[in-house]
Amino acid sequence: MQTLSEIKAMLAERGLRPRHALGQNFLIDHNLLAKLLNAANLKPGELILEVGPGTGTLTEALLAQGCRVLACEMDTNLASLLADRITSQGHAERFRLVQGDCLALGKRLNNAVANAIGDEPFKLVANLPYNAATPLILTLLIDHPRCSLIAATIQREVADRLTAKPATPDYGLLSILVQALSTPHILAKLDPACFWPRPKVTSAMVVLERRPDPLTRDPRRLAELCHRLFSQRRKQLGTTLGRSTTLPPGIRPEQRPEELTPQQVVELMDLLPEP
């Protein structure tokens, strides 16, 4: 794996520096990188989506395990550096690079990435730019059921929301949607010293395994209900939905949205008339 001195030398050779605006904080702890790779349960020949590959530390490790890698890099200069490096190592036949934002308008996967994936099963394994983590995780879970697993480094605050339990401060729309469609857990908590440059926030490695039997087959409708409920999260359900609304057994009109489990929100959705 690339060392910090190698990363600095590669960037310096091309007159480049990490760009804070693009969330370029390179993960330099090899033990944590190995832990992420192990958690992804990789198989030779698998298609892996990597977003924000940077200089390619993780990319090279994925290719070394026999995976096919589809990398999406927003930074033109880093994309060029990465393409040259992978080609020089003789892995070009298992590597494809899309230069640009991984998300299009509407927070959907950009067309070039979506077309490159096609109908294949795939996994996301990445050290994600912080601002891309939440919308990317949601679009992969909701719109791309062939994404079987997400193993990623994200902001600790987002990781806490993904795994939060009902009636806790971090619990909300993101918790319900993610837990209805996958089984998330925090693999490790990362100090800023694990990155170069050091970010101003703490990070976490998370693994989200798609549920073989999701709590709902209509995640978009569930997302709409969650938006409706959590835009007024301190209001009682009876106030938000109307006192005459029929509620599932075990749910009371005086409860607030944050008290409901993901399963209860799905049961509520199934009783409400479709818009």
Looking at the predicted structure, is the pLDDT value of residue 275 above 90? no
Split at pLDDT 50, 70, 90, the class of 164 is very high
Looking at the predicted structure, is the pLDDT value of residue 20 above 90? no
* Residue 100: per-residue pLDDT: 96
For 22-42, write each residue's pLDDT tens digit: 889 999 999 999 999 999 999
Residue 250 CB neighbours (<10 A): 11
Q: Which helix (H) or strand (E) holds 200?
A: none
* Residue 107: per-residue pLDDT: 87
Query: How many domains, the chain?
Result: 2
* Residue 123: per-residue pLDDT: 98
Sheet holding 147-155, edge to edge: 95-99, 68-73, 47-51, 122-127, 147-155, 203-210, 182-190
Same domain, 95 and 224: no
**Strand stretches in 18-177, DSSP E:** 26-27, 47-51, 68-73, 95-99, 103-104, 108-109, 122-127, 147-155
Same domain, 101 and 226: no
CATH of the domain at 257: 1.10.8.100
Same domain, 227 and 162: no
Q: What is the DSSP letter of 214?
A: -
Same domain, 23 and 139: yes
* Residue 103: per-residue pLDDT: 95
SS3 state at 15:
coil
Looking at the predicted structure, is the pLDDT value of residue 105 above 90? no
Q: For residues 270 and 76, what is the distance between their CA atoms, to the nearest angstrom?
A: 46
Which residues neighbour 132 within 8 Å (Cβ) at sequence distance 6 or greater? 23, 51, 52, 102, 103
Looking at the predicted structure, is the pLDDT value of residue 106 above 90? no
* β-strand partners of 155: 203
Same domain, 81 and 146: yes
Same domain, 185 and 238: no
Same domain, 174 and 265: no
SS3 state at 55:
coil
CATH of the domain at 19: 3.40.50.150
Residue 148 CB neighbours (<10 A): 17
Contact 151, 39 (CB under 8 A): yes
Same domain, 138 and 253: no
- Mean pLDDT across the stretch 223-251? 94
Instruction: Copy the structure tokens of residue 38.
Output: 């192990």
Report yes or no on whether pTM surpasses 0.85.
yes
What domain range includes position 256? 219-271
> Nearest Cα to 187, choosing from 210, 220, 162?
162
